[in-house]
Structure 1
Amino acid sequence: MVENRQLPLDLLLVAGFVLLTDVLVLVPVLNGSFLRTGLGIVLVLFLPGYALTGAIFPAKKNIEGIERVAISFGLSIAVVPIMGLGLNYTTWGIREIPLLTVLSVFTLLTCAVAYYRRRLLPEAEVFGVSFKAFFLSMNAEILEKPGSKIDKILALFLILSTLISMGSLAYIIENPKEGEHFTEYYILGANRTTENYTTEFVQGEQGTVSVGIVNHEYRPVDYTMEVRLENNSLPLPENQRRVSLEHNMSWEAPITFKPPFEGKNMKLEFLLFNETEKTVPYRNLHLWINVTKEA
């Protein structure tokens, strides 16, 4: 006869939070939401520890409600850095997707172990969560057991402090302090490296470099680019001459030019202007080139 047991609502809820966090992080249209940040913090600071606590203490008599929650925070704070340290010695490194994968797999597998260990116990001894009864029991533990009242209050204070810290961390992540305002501007030579630039040309011969712009100005910026050879402007297509970028957006494209006259040690400039200053370049890069007469 198969024993009819209630579903482990707490473990199902933990697994659901893990999967929802994965979706919010991995789906591009959703990964900018505040909910993603909040669930990510819960995944790091609470869920792994709660699943591990459930696996270690499957019986309701092992530990009481408040202690179970407090131990969950403590185990998460202990286990997650160990996972990060392990990832640091792999080819993946401590990056968002590998860390999310490790945390998710660990939490889900530990939930499965917790469920298996509960199945081995008589139903009357198994720890389970009726959320209304859970909070009522925590309140009763504090009020009805004077001998341990101070311990309960301290445990509750620890939980509240952790929740406040989680909320503060979420706010800081969503509202980071602005750093230095600047624009990255670079040119790349052969094989997209910062060397091996072509500097020898024949008059009328076409040359190409890759030019990149990265906006770190904390605002949208309309850039204008100009290429000059010895202060003589060289023609550029409109889609390369004007570039509009949002904050933290980047642009890179091959820029083609033809030196129209010969000369030695001539200054080939790549000038970048922003919308606030049209006469003085905001960024200035240059190469020294030689152009010989066409044979």
Structure 2
Amino acid sequence: MTGNRQFSLDLLIVAALVVLTDIFVLVPPLSGSFLRTVLGLLLVLFLPGYALTAALLPAKKDLEGIERALLSLGLSIAITPLMGFGMNYTSWGIREIPVLAGLSAFTLLSCGAAYFRRSRLPETEAFNITGETFTSTLKTEIFEEIGYGTSKAFATLLVISMLASLGSLAYVIGSPRGEEPFTEFYILGPDRVAENYPTEYTPGNSGTVIVGVKNHEHRNVDYTMEVRLENHSMPLPEDQKYISLGHNESWEEPVTFTPSVEGNNMKLEFLLFNETEKSIPYRNTHLWINVTKET
């Protein structure tokens, strides 16, 4: 053990990334940025495992660089859900801030333990990446220890594949698909819940359900609603038959109808047409009803 040992560059970077992640998650102006997502993925998928690996295996002979990286990934994938599982039984629960605090504290404490254990070893035996040795270590890990010829080509291909995978991941995260346009169309019972629908009728009696339409089409849409019993249209007021909604606007109103025919297990359909297709329903839902005479 020497008294003038440089602090390990890898542990310093891990600790800095943890602090940076906390800042990007907790500070509102930064919490919506692309870097927040990238740093969050690192904290979940790599940093805790790397710090734990460094604490458990402080010597160079314990594990080589590439093996350390792979073990770090595997341990992180195990640590994160285990921490979430444990927090589920606390008063904090599985929420963003408690999980962030738990992973950050675990990683920083592991970095401290790793530095302590490395400092107990002779400097030549401790695993250590400093600014001066980073380039030579990377070269040794990828080329010299793996070998030349076919092995060198394989190593180069492996590095390129890893970089391509990281680039693809960054592209997917940074360019998420836009929300697909759609319309919600639903019916509720009289209590505005999806149960206790009126399904038993006598001739001439009316029933009421709550019908809802929500426009997520990213444009204004003119809808037409129709109610059919056994393929026979039933009359509706004009303000319920024709519904115009802007994007993210909703319409939810009680719709009253009077069955016009008698029978059992009859299909009562609620059909919604959009402005571009008037013959085929854009959305539909239905109930099965009975209309029988009183005995």
CA distance, structure 1, for counterparts of residue 61 and residue 23 of structure 2: 30
**Does the CA contact (< 8 Å) of 1:210 and 1:252 recur in 2?**
no
**Does the CA contact (< 8 Å) of 1:198 and 1:207 recur in 2?**
yes
CA distance, structure 2, for counterparts of residue 289 and residue 140 of structure 1: 75
CA distance, structure 2, for counterparts of residue 155 and residue 17 of structure 1: 32
Pick from 234, 243, 246: which aligns with 1:244? Answer: 246
2:56 is aligned to: 56
2:235 is aligned to: 232
Residues 47-81 of structure 1: CA distance to partner in whole angstroms, max 9, x if unpaired? 2222222222346x4568xx335513333134415
TM-score of the two chains, using structure 2 as the length reference: 0.60
CA distance, structure 2, for counterparts of residue 29 and residue 185 of structure 1: 37
Pick from 256, 261, 264: which aligns with 2:254? Answer: 256
1:138 is aligned to: 137
TM-score of the two chains, using structure 1 as the length reference: 0.60
1:14 is aligned to: 17
Deviation at 1:17, TM superposition (A): 4.5
1:272 is aligned to: 272
Matched AA of 1:244 = G
Cα 1:89–1:49 shift into 2, 3 Å:
closer
Cα 1:38–1:262 shift into 2, 3 Å:
closer
Residues 86-133 of structure 1: CA distance to partner in whole angstroms, max 9, x if unpaired? 8689979xxxx6699657624531331321342462698476655x43
| Structure 1 residues without counterparts, runs of 5 or longer | none
| Structure 2 residues without counterparts, runs of 5 or longer | none
CA distance, structure 1, for counterparts of residue 16 and residue 86 of structure 2: 32
Report which stretch shifted further, 183-192 or 202-211: 202-211
What's the % identity of the aligned pairs? 33
1:222 is aligned to: 221
Report which stretch shifted further, 228-237 or 3-12: 3-12
CA distance, structure 2, for counterparts of residue 69 and residue 198 of structure 1: 66
CA distance, structure 2, for counterparts of residue 139 and residue 117 of structure 1: 21
CA distance, structure 2, for counterparts of residue 62 and residue 224 of structure 1: 71
Q: CA RMSD in A?
A: 5.3
Cα 1:282–1:124 shift into 2, 3 Å:
same
Matched AA of 1:11 = V
CA distance, structure 2, for counterparts of residue 165 and residue 110 of structure 1: 25
CA distance, structure 1, for counterparts of residue 29 and residue 278 of structure 2: 36
Deviation at 1:19, TM superposition (A): 1.9
